[in-house]
Amino acid sequence: MAHKVMDPDSLNANVKKTVYAVRGELYLRASELQKEGKKIIFTNVGNPHALGQKPLTFPRQVMALCQAPFLMDDPHVGLLFPSDAIARAKKYLAMNTGGVGAYSDSRGVPGVRQEVADFILERDGHPSDPETIFLTDGASKGVQQVLNALIRNEKDGILVPIPQYPLYSATITLLGGTLVPYYLSEEANWGLDVTELRKSIIAARRKGITVRGLVFINPGNPTGQCLSETNLRDLIELCIKERLVLMADEVYQQNIYQDERPFISAKKVLMDMGRPTSSALELISFHSVSKGFVGECGQRGGYFEMTNFHPQTVDELYKVASISLSPNVNGQILMGLMVKPPRPGDVSYPLYAAESQAILKSLRARAHIMTDGFNDCQNIVCNFTEGAMYSFPQVKLPKAAISAAQKAGKTPDVFYCLRLLEATGISTVPGSGFGQKDGTFHIRTTILPAEKDMPKIMESFKKFNEDFMRQFADSNTITSRL
């Protein structure tokens, strides 16, 4: 064969345009170095277990029993598993005919969706209909399904915060739509400004874009900010007025590290506003088992809840879900366990509470260690990680560094991150992977390395940064500015 059928030039152009920096250039380079024997600290992706966080005991006990139900026939089982785990496993196995090895309902096991609905009611004080809750193989799958329904062609635009988690930019590109950016304000603690949003909508419409949806991430990724109730009301009112579907990525809702702004769901705010407002917005809310304190990324469990969606639209989404038959049942069970954990009085409660509280306490401490560590550096400004799992410091790069980067054919923050990787083994993601204001440079790292390793990692970073700044020192102190 002289030519290849699947020539790079004859691939779907949208695929070629797609970028997903979280596992992009930096990660690939880090993996190469790892193969060569270098010790790498992977802080490129929110992957708690990869950095030593232990899974919670109770969910794993239930999952182990669900996978090997014959264990429960054995008289010794009580020696290895507490009674409430056994009871819970039996309950889940009864919920899906054939257990974890059978396809479930394409929307997810009804019993688990009910548990999710109960959780939402308890969290928000407003009822939730399990028929509008779809379980998915991770929240990402749900995001992709919804965007696939929304985006018809390149004239359809989706508002996305900048900086954003690049699942959104990648998916919009893959689907042939248009990303309509709205900038978060770094000086105002990555604040969300409705005026900014309105400006973006007007600008997009002038270009002939039909803006169809608005994504917000709360707590933010990579930025970590926690939105206030006012923010959420503003978003809701804006979306109602402009007839946008509001997409609430709330996967980090359990990761809150300050007390001034606890998590409040978009659904709660919407429902609190009462009719007719509460019926006038199409809202879709996403959650996941990958984050929080369970951190079960590898299991792929997630859900989305649709509020005020047209029943026929729900049917169409059901149809698309059914092509993949069903999400993995293990991940669904894990979602049930996450939203309905052991309660006081349960045999497993004390251990569960201790494990989860310890993780959250440690994450909060690490959020501080990292933020403070970055702010110690003269050329670095870092907003506090109010929530989520990341630190997103702004690194002011000297002109000489920017020129060197350009000479090497790299974006300046990519250049910086590559140097950081080579020098210290710390694998981060450059801010350009998330979007940032022109002329600013950021890096995203996770706060996930073990607490005991943090001081050393920050030391290592600081040393690299000092060396870098010395190497590329300006004769005057002009650096990048906001």
Instruction: Give the footprint of another protein on residues 31-90 (CB under 8 A).
Output: 45, 47-55, 57, 60-61, 63-65, 67-68, 70-71, 74, 76-77, 79-80
Q: How crowded is the C-beta side of 436, counted as CA atoms within 13 Å? A: 26
Residue among 203 and 325 whose Cβ is closer to another protein = 325
Residue among 175 and 395 whose Cβ is closer to another protein = 175
- Taking the C-alpha atoms of residue 248 and residue 285, their distance in angstroms, rounded to an integer, is 5
From candidates 122, 129, 422, 474, binder to another protein by CB under 8 A: 129
Q: How far is the CB of 315 from another protein (least distance, A)?
A: 5
User: 363: closest CA among 453, 252, 448, 456?
Assistant: 448
Residue among 52 and 439 whose Cβ is closer to another protein = 52
DSSP code of 183? Answer: E
Where does 218-325 show beta strands of DSSP type E? 245-249, 283-288, 302-307
From candidates 228, 258, 313, 375, binder to another protein by CB under 8 A: 313
SS3 (DSSP) at 210? strand
Q: Does 167 bind another protein (CB under 8 A)?
A: yes
| Assigned token pair, 224 | 């970590």
From candidates 83, 279, 406, 477, binder to another protein by CB under 8 A: 279
User: 126: closest CA among 237, 236, 234, 274?
Assistant: 274
Q: How far is the CB of 144 from another protein (least distance, A)?
A: 8
Checking DSSP bridges between strand 443-446 and strand 390-391, what pairing results, if any? Answer: antiparallel
DSSP code of 226? Answer: P
Q: How far is the CB of 62 from another protein (least distance, A)?
A: 9
- Taking the C-alpha atoms of residue 202 and residue 431, their distance in angstroms, rounded to an integer, is 26
Residue among 86 and 397 whose Cβ is closer to another protein = 86
Q: Is the dihedral of CA 169, 209, 220, 457 positive or negative?
A: positive
Q: How far is the CB of 5 from another protein (least distance, A)?
A: 5
Q: How far is the CB of 1 from another protein (least distance, A)?
A: 6
From candidates 163, 224, 327, 449, binder to another protein by CB under 8 A: 327
Q: How far is the CB of 137 from another protein (least distance, A)?
A: 5
Q: Which of residues 191-210 bind another protein (CB under 8 A)?
A: 210
- Taking the C-alpha atoms of residue 296 and residue 293, their distance in angstroms, rounded to an integer, is 9
Q: How far is the CB of 80 from another protein (least distance, A)?
A: 5
User: 233: closest CA among 191, 277, 196?
Assistant: 277
Residue among 61 and 218 whose Cβ is closer to another protein = 61
User: 230: closest CA among 222, 242, 218?
Assistant: 218
# chain residues binding another protein, by CB under 8 A: 115
Inter-residue contact 133 to 307 (CB < 8 Å): no
For 372, residues 6+ apart whose C-beta sits below 8 A from its C-beta are: none
Q: How far is the CB of 354 from another protein (least distance, A)?
A: 15
Stretch (H or E) spanning 234? helix 229-242
Q: CB under 8 A: which stretch of 20-28, 361-369, 380-388, 461-469 binds another protein?
A: 20-28
Checking DSSP bridges between strand 302-307 and strand 283-288, what pairing results, if any? Answer: antiparallel
Q: Which of residues 231-250 bind another protein (CB under 8 A)?
A: 240-243, 245
Q: How far is the CB of 271 from another protein (least distance, A)?
A: 11
Residue among 251 and 397 whose Cβ is closer to another protein = 251
User: 388: closest CA among 440, 431, 445, 305?
Assistant: 445
Residue among 95 and 458 whose Cβ is closer to another protein = 95
Q: CB under 8 A: which stretch of 99-107, 260-268, 386-394, 450-458 binds another protein?
A: 99-107
From candidates 82, 111, 138, 387, binder to another protein by CB under 8 A: 138
